[in-house]
Structure formats: C-alpha cells, structure tokens
Structure 1
Amino acid sequence: MSLKNSLVIYGGSFNPPHNGHIIIAQLVREMFRFADFHVVTSSTPPHKKVDVSFKERFFLTKKAFEKVEGITVSDIEHRLGGVSYAINTIEYYEKKYSHIFFLVGEDALYSIEKWYRYEDILKKAHMLVYPRFKDELVYKKVERVLESLSNSIYILKLPLIQISSTVVRERAIKGLSLYGFVPQHIISYVEEIYGNR
C-alpha cells in the first residue's frame, strides 16, 4: 500500500504525556515515514474520567513533542466538541487523507467491541496496536469478536514500553523525581499541575 496521502493518528488523553509516548511515536513514525503523523489530545475521553483540563493536557503535549521532528500535535477533538469519539476524528481526517492509520495501545483491544461505532472505525482506518503486555488471549478474543474486521488490525513488533501516565501522576503526587519519566523540559510543568492534587 502506498503511504502517499496517508495519516497516522496517535490519540490519547496524555494525562500527562511521558517519555513512553514519545518513544512510541518516534518508532511508529519511522515505520510510516511517508505519512503525516498527528498526536491528538482527547478533549472529553468517552471511557475514562480525566480531572485535568484539556487546556493543560494539550499544553503539556505540545511542549513534550515540540522537539520531535515530523510530528504535529492537534487539538481537533477539542474543536470538534462533544465526547471525543475516535470515529469522529477519523471521519474528519478522511476528507483529506486517502489512508488513515489509528495507533492505540494493546490495552485498548480489551474493550474494542465497546467503542462507539467500532465497526466503522475498522472499516475506515487501519488500527495499529502497540504492544504493552503481548497478551495472546487478547488477540484471540479480538479475532473471535471482530471476525473479518480483525483484518484491519495490525500488531506492531516493537519494544515494550512500560512507562504509564498513572505512574507519572502517582510519582508527582508523592513528590518523587520525574527525571527519565517525562521530557526534562516539562518536568516543572508536570510537577506544578499534578503535584498539587
């Protein structure tokens, strides 16, 4: 498949963004170097409660990725308004791009059948799955539940990255060092936003 006029969407709440996000984005971008790459900060995530404002998370995400070449941080889900459903983002971008790749973590597959209009997502985009645990049972479940639609899902063979936003938040609350967990130039911002909660 030609990657001309293609887009990789890497969406998430980025609550907060961390070095794992950046490593994943860089590794996947290197695989899809001829595609545009948009990091999309979720405004109102449908499956999780986020107690940090979009404005703060978007600011941190832009700062975190500002030194990463070839990546655009987008606020499209905020501009679209309402709940940040993946299908709405995909349908917005499909007006401009011929091929859309939607990057998610392996844990997203646990509840893929509960995603809003998940069948349309898999018909309109190729889902790229970044491994977190390499749980074979998850992949078998996906094949069973989605049947032929599972052909739109690609499991990436890339190194496991075990940094999580949950760990970063917990360390910030406890006043522990964030060095190595988030980009050094945003440590003070993350400490200020998350350390007072």
Structure 2
Amino acid sequence: MKIGLYFGTFNPIHIGHMIIANHMAEHSDLDQIWMVVTPHNPHKQKTTLLDDYQRLHMVTLATEDFTKIKPSDIEFKLPQPNYTVNTLAHLEEKYPKHEFALIMGEDNLNSLHKWKNYEVILENHHIYVYPRLNSGEIDEQFVNHDKIHRIGAPVIELSSTFIRESIKNKKNVAPMLPQKVWEYIDSSAFYKK
C-alpha cells in the first residue's frame, strides 16, 4: 500500500488541509493519506500550539467520514523535536509492507535542502507537491527530479494562523473549518485569548 504522509501541526486543521488531502487521495496513485500530527515542528514555536491530543482529536473529527484519510499520532512517541527523516525510518520499520511518500506544498519544497538528511529522504521516498501562491524559485536540483511529483491540486491560501487570529478577534470562521472541528473549537473556547 502506498501511503502519503501529510505532516502538520494542524493547529487547527481546516478545509484547506482537507481539500489537499482529499485531492491527493483521489487524484494521485496514493492509496491512503495519513495526517501526521506533529507535536513540535523544529521551525515553529511550541508556545502557540494546542495540546497534542486536542489537535489529534480535531484531525480525527475532520477525517472520520473519509475512508482514504487517516489521523496519525506516530510522532507523539518519537524524540522531540521531530525530524521527518527519523519519522520515515520509524514508519518503514513498523510497517515494512507499506511504501511511504511525503506530501508538501511548493513552499516547503523550496526549503527542503535545509531539512535534516534531505538527500536520504529523496533517495528513498517520493514527494508529492501541491501548488502554493508565492512559493518562490524552486531549487534547481528539485525541478526535474524523478522522485518529485507535482500534483495539480487546488491552490488554497488559508492558514491556521489566520483562523486562530480571527477567532481571537471574534470573527466567524465556521466556513473555513470542517463542521465537527468548528463545533469542538467553539465549545472548548480554543484560541479565544
């Protein structure tokens, strides 16, 4: 089985994430998409994150009606901060019959050369890239790489940061979130301060 790993803090997961995940599930050769909730991204401040299990619960709520999209807490059990190369090695050991690929936006592809052991990742895994506005110049080594696949997914310019700030400023963000996720956020009074 070919699994696409879509990493994120999902703080919160929003319809943009779901549109990309579903597009990858339906319009690529990936059999399943695993939404990997990252406890601590080395490039993000941990102080702004909701609890790991609250974010995992939101991903579970968002994905429960999608048979090809699954929540994953695989990184919760790994040393912090998490590095993708370590997560991939752990998954390969745990699920030897699966083939794992990465899903990322063009903006992340631009910084791939800064990732820990990125050459090892590219040597062993395919990368499925979705378009982003203003992603800048793609590093030449990644332009025609045989392991990098550009998928013509819809361009979604919606960020979790914008949603959190909007909630704090008492704006209605319900249309930007899966309904069950919005209900959970609202009833828990998340992001209001």
Would the aligned equivalents of 2:28 and 2:151 in 1 still touch at CA under 8 Å? no
List runs of 5+ in structure 1 lacking aligned partners.
none
Displacement of 1:180? 1.1
- 1:186 maps to which of 177, 181, 187: 181
List runs of 5+ in structure 2 lacking aligned partners.
none
- Structure 2 equivalent of residue 171 of structure 1: 166
Would the aligned equivalents of 2:24 and 2:30 in 1 still touch at CA under 8 Å? no
1:50-61 aligned at under 5 Å gives the runs 50=46, 51=48, 52-61=50-59
Aligned length: 187
TM-score, scaled relative to structure 1: 0.86
**% identical equivalent positions:** 31
Using the TM superposition, name which of 126-135 and 14-23 deviates more: 126-135
Displacement of 1:147? 8.0
Whether 1:155 and 2:150 are equivalent positions in the alignment is yes
**Secondary structure of the equivalent of 1:172?**
helix
- Structure 1 equivalent of residue 137 of structure 2: 138
Letter of the structure 2 residue corresponding to residue 119 of structure 1: E
Would the aligned equivalents of 1:109 and 1:138 in 2 still touch at CA under 8 Å? no
Distance 1:69 1:147, change over 3 A: closer
Would the aligned equivalents of 2:4 and 2:30 in 1 still touch at CA under 8 Å? no
Structure 2: distance between partners of 1:184 and 1:98: 32
Structure 2: distance between partners of 1:30 and 1:134: 26
Structure 2: distance between partners of 1:104 and 1:34: 14
Letter of the structure 2 residue corresponding to residue 46 of structure 1: P
Displacement of 1:120? 1.1
- Structure 1 equivalent of residue 116 of structure 2: 116
Whether 1:41 and 2:40 are equivalent positions in the alignment is no
TM-score, scaled relative to structure 2: 0.87
Displacement of 1:113? 1.3
Displacement of 1:33? 5.8
- Structure 2 equivalent of residue 125 of structure 1: 125
Letter of the structure 1 residue corresponding to residue 42 of structure 2: P
**Secondary structure of the equivalent of 2:129?**
strand
- Structure 1 equivalent of residue 75 of structure 2: 77
Please, what is the CA RMSD of the aligned residues?
2.0
- 1:17 maps to which of 13, 17, 22: 13
